[in-house]
Amino acid sequence: MQDIIVIGSILSALGVIIATAVKVYKFIRKWEKWVEETSEHSLDNYLSIKRLTIMSHEMPLSERIAAGEKYIKYGGNGEVKHKYEELLNHLPKENF
């Protein structure tokens, strides 16, 4: 009788430990997913700000080019990249 109680206690304790471990694992996975999504959204926002800076005619050319360098560095591409390259072509003309 005593052995059955000990075995039952051990199994109950193992059940609680396993259930707690599963909950902790799920929490960590949700946390990692949230961090990844937040990081992705931050990068999207950063690139959007750089994109607006590059395309804004009111901004000084030097700031537009600096924003373009960062935009390209972080994976920006497409029409904005072409605009940045166009701005680079205008830079030497304005320096002389």
Q: Three-state SS across 13-27?
A: HHHHHHHHHHHHHHH
Q: What is the pLDDT of residues 12-56, one digit of tens each?
A: 999 999 999 999 999 999 999 999 999 999 999 999 999 999 999
pLDDT, tens digit, for every residue of 53-79? Answer: 999 999 998 899 999 999 999 988 889
Residue 94 confidence (pLDDT) above 70: no
